[in-house]
Amino acid sequence: MALNLTAVQIKRILDHWVNTPPNGYIGVNYGRNLAERLLKAIDEDDADQIIQWIKEDIPLFKNLNSNQLSIYSENNGIDQKYYFIKVGEISIQLPTIDELNAISGDTYDANAY
């Protein structure tokens, strides 16, 4: 049975994963600390680790190969990079450290998007 997901659905799945803290659900190893990876330039090993985390945490992505699931970056000025997860032809930007900190702060406006 083929499962056809829209770009919006894939983005929601990855947004949920990115914004779930490590072990955010009792008894489930789901959610990772991306902030520790994003505080420095992501090298090839870090990118591989993030892809591995996605495959471990999200069963839908478990069997995707490197052509179907990858990470790439774009420079933003001389001192910043934006990182993207690419699923098939869909690119989803990972949040910046500032965005991650805003979400994990004392208050969070759920309607801010």
Answer whether 38's CB lies under 8 Å from 52's CB.
no
Would you write out the chain's pLDDT as a tens digit for each of its 113 residues? 567 888 899 999 998 988 888 878 887 888 888 877 777 776 777 888 889 999 999 999 999 998 999 998 888 887 777 889 999 888 998 887 777 766 555 455 556 55
**DSSP code of 25?**
B
Distance in angstroms (rounded) separating the CA atoms of residues 97 and 113: 17
pTM value is 0.76
Please report, for residues 8, 36, 57, 94, the alpha-carbon distance to residue 17 in angstroms, rounded to integers and kept in the order given: 14, 15, 8, 11
Answer whether 73's CB lies under 8 Å from 84's CB.
yes
Q: Given this model, what pLDDT does residue 56 score?
A: 92
Q: Given this model, what pLDDT does residue 34 score?
A: 80
Please report, for residues 19, 61, 68, the alpha-carbon distance to residue 96 in angstroms, rounded to integers and kept in the order given: 12, 23, 23
